[in-house]
């Protein structure tokens, strides 16, 4: 009854569990669609950028503004989102600037501060935008899976960027012209300006603009405005009155490098300088005007500095570096160790014309190669410059001479060890004999020492490797290791052993023992040979006896042969037992002969008849044979 109840209870429990699980499971295992999150597809983003650039180039500023606003609302991965926003904020600003530039070109008057402001902003955003677009496109290009698509999209994008830059240059030129001479549409061109400028000028240096205003009509003087725009960024202007047909030489100065860099201009290339001259004169209450412009190239040279640093530096040693400057201005210098990051700055100083020596004290440098990086900031006629030089941080080698005698005749088991340290620094001496450390001592100021080196006890003779390690306690020095070999001879024991062995070899007792041992050895060899032959014969007998019946005395016969074979050998294959007996009887004594005859008779009976043989008697005969054989 109880068993039945338990069985039923289990069934009920199982059913309940099944039901509850099946009813609850659907709530915890909802059917969910597989979602996949793809990586960014860069092509539509590039297409969007291309569209914005095209619209700006084609003067569709409203559409460009709309697209820029739309672009700023796109959700993008974090690694590109910031760059994307940065780009479109600038494009938005550029579009607005261009829209106002359009109206300024048509309506603004000469010298309008608004024009000047827009020119400045356009120049600034042009430089900035060029960098941002290139960085943005470079980042997008990494997302392309298909190289062909990448190439096509990127190339078209680059073309548009170039077109945009050309357009911006044109607009900037137009604005500069407007700033200089106002709207030209209503003036007459009766003046003629001739200017002469150098083709190439150096930064922070003076250059001359030679100009002449000529006129075909009767005009005495002209108001001349001369404007120089350096790298589309820095504007310098000059206004003066010049008699017509006279030549004037105006000296101007190119901005120093730090000023241009401060305005966001990169100095590692040739920079354009636009020289524009406007001449105005009044004749019969009417303004006559002429405008001419020339473009020069502005360059900034590398600072003429030579850096001298040591090739090898020792730990905790200050590094003396020299900077020989042939520049005519004082330059700002920052020295970094290994990396161009603020935390790696070693020194900030100035480099004056001539030789400058700096002492650097690097800390926590590891042994190995290191790099000193010299960064000179742009200044005057010089662009920025970075120079790096590698040096090695090494430890000084120790000079040590170690000597030990080659052969030690012991006892005593110790040998003098001669150590000479050439460098007078504290050091630790560690000596190993074999693998065992036998000595460790520290010396503060001792260059010559003689140590009594303990050698392990040696029974007769042995060879030991002696390793001497000299560790300098000054981090400037390295470690030196010398290996030596010493042969140790335990002379008394060796002599004693030789004597004992010699006596042992020549003593009569020993020689007799040796003779006896050799005889025993030969006898045992012979017995073992005979024994193997006996086993072979018995095996033959056994195999032939199978045809009749197994003899009862077979084991005893085998024993018999083993005993008797030492006298006459074994019976040959063709020899009968009687023939064997005859051969035997000629060589052995009477007592043995009788016993052999007795055993062979019993064995014949056992072999060839059906009579019962007395095994005990046969055993007795064999036992007696053994006794006789051993006598």
Partner 1 sequence: MSKALTTVVIIAVLTSLLAVIVDLPSPTPYSPFNNGSLGYSELVEISNAQVISTINDVESLDRGGTVLILPLVKELSNETYSIFKELVSEGLTIIVLDEKGYSNSLLKHLGINAYVSNQTVLDEISKLNDRFHPIIKVLIQGGNSSYIDVVMYKPSYIVVSNKVLGGVVGTTSSYAYADTDGNGYYSIGEVMKSYIVIHSWNVGRGKVVLISDLDLWSNDLIVKEGNAKLLKYIVGSERTFMLTLGLEIGLIDGIKFVFMKFRLSRYYGSGLLPLIGFLILMAVLMVVRYAERGQRKV
What are the residues binding partner 1 (CB under 8 A)?
A: 4-5, 7-8, 11-12, 15-16, 18-20, 22-24, 26-27, 30-33, 36-38, 40-41, 43-45, 47-48, 70-71, 74-75, 144-146, 148-149, 152
Q: How far is CA 512 from the centre of its chain?
A: 77
Question: Between 70 and 526, whose beta carbon lies closer to partner 1?
Answer: 70
Shortest distance in whole angstroms from residue 89 CB to partner 1? 18
| Least distance CB 58 / partner 1 (angstroms) | 17
Residues 429, 439 contacting (CB under 8 angstroms): yes
- 3 state SS of 283: strand
Considering beta carbons, is residue 11 or 536 the nearer one to partner 1?
Answer: 11
Tell me the sheet residues that pair with 321.
Answer: 358
Tell me how far apart the alpha carbons of residues 147 and 542 are, in angstroms, rounded to a whole number: 94
Strands, E assignment, 434-512 = 436-443, 448-454, 461-472, 479-490
Give the shortest CB-212-to-partner 1 separation in angstroms. 58
Minimum distance between the CB of residue 294 and partner 1, rounded to whole angstroms?
45
**Alpha-carbon distance 619 to 299, whole Å?**
130
How many Cβ atoms sit within 10 Å of the Cβ of residue 603? 21
Q: What is the DSSP string of 482-537?
A: EEEEEEEEEHHHHHHHHHHHHHHHH-HHHHHHHHHHHHHHHHHHHHHHHHHHHHHH
Residue closer to partner 1, measured from CB, 146 or 575 = 146
Instruction: Please say which residue, 49 or 209, places its beta carbon nearer to partner 1.
Output: 49
Rounded to a whole number of angstroms, the minimum distance from the CB of residue 164 to partner 1 is: 20
Element of type H or E holding 296: strand 286-299
**Angstrom distances, CA of residue 58 to CA of 51, 65, 94, 533:** 10, 13, 14, 120
DSSP-based three-state secondary structure for 493: helix
CB atoms within 10 A of CB 357: 10
Least gap, CB of 112 to partner 1 (angstroms): 39
Rounded to 10 degrees, the C-alpha dihedral 283/286/287/289 comes to -70
Least distance from C-beta 98 to partner 1, angstroms? 23
Cα–chain-centroid distance for residue 600? 94
**Least separation in angstroms between CB 142 and partner 1:** 13
Q: Which is nearer to partner 1, 23 or 506 (CB)?
A: 23
Q: Which is nearer to partner 1, 82 or 567 (CB)?
A: 82
Q: How far apart are CA 410 and CA 544, in angstroms?
A: 74
Residue 557 CA to residue 115 CA, distance in Å, equals 141
**Shortest Cβ 254–partner 1 spacing (Å):** 46
CA distance 326 to 85: 46
Q: Which is nearer to partner 1, 7 or 170 (CB)?
A: 7
CB of 146 to partner 1, least distance (A): 6
CA distance 150 to 520: 99
Task: For helices 42-57 and 113-141, give the axis angle rounded to 10 degrees.
Answer: 160
CB closer to partner 1 out of 131 and 146: 146
> What are 291's strand-pairing partners?
278
Nearer to partner 1, 149 or 287 (CB): 149
User: Hunting for tokens 């045809």 — which residue is that?
Assistant: 547
Smallest separation (angstroms) from partner 1 to the CB of 57 = 19
Which residue lies nearer to partner 1 by CB, 110 or 154?
154
Instruction: Measure the CA–CA gap between 226 and 237, rounded to whole angstroms.
Output: 5
Confirm if 236 and 260 have CB atoms less than 8 A apart.
no
**In the complex, minimum distance from the CB of residue 364 to partner 1, in angstroms, rounded to a whole number:** 48
Taking the least distance from each CB to partner 1, the nearer of 16 and 367 is 16
Query: Quick one: 145 or 610, whose CB is closer to partner 1?
Result: 145
CA distance 602 to 114: 151
Tokens representing residue 205 in the block? 């240096």
């Amino acid at each position: 009854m109880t068993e039945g109840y338990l069985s039923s209870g289990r069934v009920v429990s199982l059913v309940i569990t099944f039901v509850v699980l099946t009813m609850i499971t659907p709530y915890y295992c909802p059917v969910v669609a597989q979602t996949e999150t793809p990586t960014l597809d860069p092509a539509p983003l590039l297409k969007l950028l291309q569209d914005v650039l095209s619209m700006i180039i084609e003067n569709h500023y409203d559409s460009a503004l709309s697209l820029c606003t739309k672009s700023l609302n796109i959700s993008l991965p974090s690694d590109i989102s910031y760059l994307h926003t940065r780009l479109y904020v600038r494009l938005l600003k550029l579009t607005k600037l261009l829209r106002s530039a359009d109206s300024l070109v048509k309506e603004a008057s000469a010298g309008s501060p608004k024009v000047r402001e827009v020119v400045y902003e356009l120049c600034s955003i042009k430089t900035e935008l060029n960098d941002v677009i290139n960085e943005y496109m470079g980042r997008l290009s990494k997302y392309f899976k298909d190289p062909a698509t990448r190439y096509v999209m990127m190339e078209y994008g680059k073309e548009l960027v170039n077109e945009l830059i050309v357009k911006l240059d044109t607009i900037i030129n137009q604005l500069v012209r407007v700033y200089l001479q106002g709207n030209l549409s209503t003036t007459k061109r009766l003046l003629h300006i001739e200017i002469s400028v150098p083709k190439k000028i150096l930064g922070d240096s003076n250059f001359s603009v030679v100009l002449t205003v000529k006129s075909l009509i009767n005009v005495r003087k002209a108001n001349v405005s001369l404007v120089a725009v350096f790298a589309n960024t820095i504007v310098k202007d000059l206004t003066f009155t010049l008699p017509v047909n006279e030549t004037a030489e105006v000296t101007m100065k190119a901005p120093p490098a730090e000023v241009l860099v401060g305005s966001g201009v990169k100095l590692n290339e040739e920079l354009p300088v636009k020289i524009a001259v406007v001449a105005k004169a009044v004749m019969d209450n009417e303004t006559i005007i002429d405008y001419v412009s020339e473009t020069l190239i502005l360059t900034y040279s590398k600072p003429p500095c030579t850096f001298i640093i040591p090739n090898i530096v020792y730990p905790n040693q200050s590094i003396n570096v020299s900077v020989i400057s042939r520049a005519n201005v004082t330059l700002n210098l920052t020295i970094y160790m290994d990396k161009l990051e603020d935390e790696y700055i070693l020194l900030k100083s100035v480099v004056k014309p001539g030789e400058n020596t700096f002492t650097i004290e690097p800390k926590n440098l590891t042994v190995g190669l290191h790099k000193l990086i010299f960064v000179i900031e742009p200044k005057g006629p010089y662009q920025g410059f970075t120079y790096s030089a590698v040096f090695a941080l090494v430890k000084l080698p120790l000079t040590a001479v170690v000597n030990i005698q080659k052969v030690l005749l012991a006892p005593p088991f110790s040998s003098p060890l001669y150590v000479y340290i050439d460098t007078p620094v504290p050091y630790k001496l560690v000596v190993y004999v074999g693998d065992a450390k036998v000595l460790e001592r520290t010396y503060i100021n001792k260059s010559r020492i003689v140590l009594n080196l303990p050698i392990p006890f040696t029974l007769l003779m042995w060879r030991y490797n002696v390793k001497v390690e000299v560790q300098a306690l000054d981090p400037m020095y390295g470690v030196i290791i010398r290996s030596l070999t010493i042969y140790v001879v335990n002379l008394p024991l060796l002599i004693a052993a030789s004597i004992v062995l010699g006596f042992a070899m020549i003593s009569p007792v020993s020689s007799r023992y040796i003779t006896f041992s050799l005889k025993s050895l030969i006898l045992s060899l012979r017995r073992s040979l005979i024994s193997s032959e006996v086993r072979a014969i018995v095996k033959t007998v056994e195999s032939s006896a199978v045809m009749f019946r197994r003899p009862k005395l077979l084991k005893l016969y085998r024993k018999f042969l083993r005993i008797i074979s030492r006298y006459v050998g074994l019976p040959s294959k063709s020899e009968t037992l009687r023939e064997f007996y005859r051969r035997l009887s000629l060589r052995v004594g009477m007592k043995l002969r009788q016993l052999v005859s007795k055993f062979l008779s019993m064995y014949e009976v056992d072999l060839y008849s059906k009579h019962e043989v007395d095994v005990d008697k046969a055993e007795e005969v064999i036992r007696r044979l053994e006794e006789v054989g051993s006598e």
